Amino acid sequence: MVDISNPNQSRMPRRPFSVKTQTGFTEMAIICFFLLYAPLIPLVVYSFNAGDSLAFWEGFSLRWYVAAWNNEMVKDVTIRSIYLASVASVIATTLATMAALGTTRIKPYKGQTAIYAMINQPLMVPEIVTAVALLIMFAWIKAATDYHGMAYLIIAHTAFCIPFAYLPIRARLEGMDLTLETAAADLYATPWLTFRRVTLPLVWPGILAGGILAFVISLDDVVITQLVKSAGQNTLPTYMLGQLRRVITPEVHAISSVLLAVSVAIVTAIFFLNRRIK
């Protein structure tokens, strides 16, 4: 209780709220991390199993990693996945950068909140709903054009990845000081020159973080890819799903472990980029 008769007491700074100081935060965090990552331990361990069993350890071996490396189908779907994720992430990041500039570098206008909600719609709507909607729309286009190429997957992944790239770019733009951009405008720099020489170098860490995040989201996607893809357009996740439906071998464990290692490396890069942004 504050004593109003003591003016110094009312001016005492309050400690900012932090969830880390709440009772039980550490214990709950440990439990959550354990539940998330404990199932991955047997997956990685049995990827080095010398035998065919998924439940009994028969010795250490790199047999299944070699088998996955020599599997031409695995190579084919891996190349397709990397190509798809690369193209989709580049397009999504470009569009997300334009959207972030359009929602942060202009005066507030009517309907701005609605536009922000539309950009982030794939984050709020269940992925299966987005996949079904894209499936219906692309079915109409396929029937009208008789085209069944990779463009459908690229469009679908781009649409789904835009909000993931948009959020870190917008956060970077909102945290930037406008002084340099204002100074460039005072020195008669055109909007394009100001963007290229001032805004882009400052927002580049956010763009890179958004692009990497969009890449890993596209690389790991199963639901949208499964519904949108045509025959012969399997990606690595959908190929693994198909293998699990037939027979489970430690080769799938080996592929999953490699994919896990790549995802962890990318997420770690995003973490350090976010620290740089802040």
- CATH assignment of the domain containing 262: 1.10.3720.10
Count of domains forming the chain: 1
The answer to whether residue 108 sits within a structural domain is: yes
Q: Determine the average pLDDT of the residues in 273-278.
A: 62
CA atoms of 166 and 120, how far apart (whole Å):
8
Host domain of residue 195? 73-277
Give the range with max mean pLDDT: 81-90, 140-149, 204-213. 81-90
Mean of all residue pLDDT scores within the chain = 83
Question: Do the Cβ atoms of 228 and 135 come closer than 8 Å?
Answer: yes
The answer to whether residue 272 sits within a structural domain is: yes
Q: Determine the average pLDDT of the residues in 256-276.
A: 78
The reported pLDDT for the residue numbered 140 is 92
The answer to whether residue 68 sits within a structural domain is: no
The answer to whether residue 252 sits within a structural domain is: yes
Confidence of residue 63 (pLDDT cuts 50, 70, 90): confident
Confidence of residue 19 (pLDDT cuts 50, 70, 90): low
The answer to whether residue 31 sits within a structural domain is: no
Q: Check residue 19 and report its DSSP letter.
A: G
Q: Which of 10 and 133 is assigned the larger pLDDT?
A: 133
Residue 10 pLDDT exceeds 80:
no
Q: Determine the average pLDDT of the residues in 97-115.
A: 79
The answer to whether residue 137 sits within a structural domain is: yes
The answer to whether residue 26 sits within a structural domain is: no
SS3 content of the chain, % helix, strand, coil (to 5): 75, 0, 25
The reported pLDDT for the residue numbered 246 is 75
The answer to whether residue 155 sits within a structural domain is: yes
Q: Determine the average pLDDT of the residues in 178-207.
A: 82
Give the largest Cα separation in the chain, rounded: 82
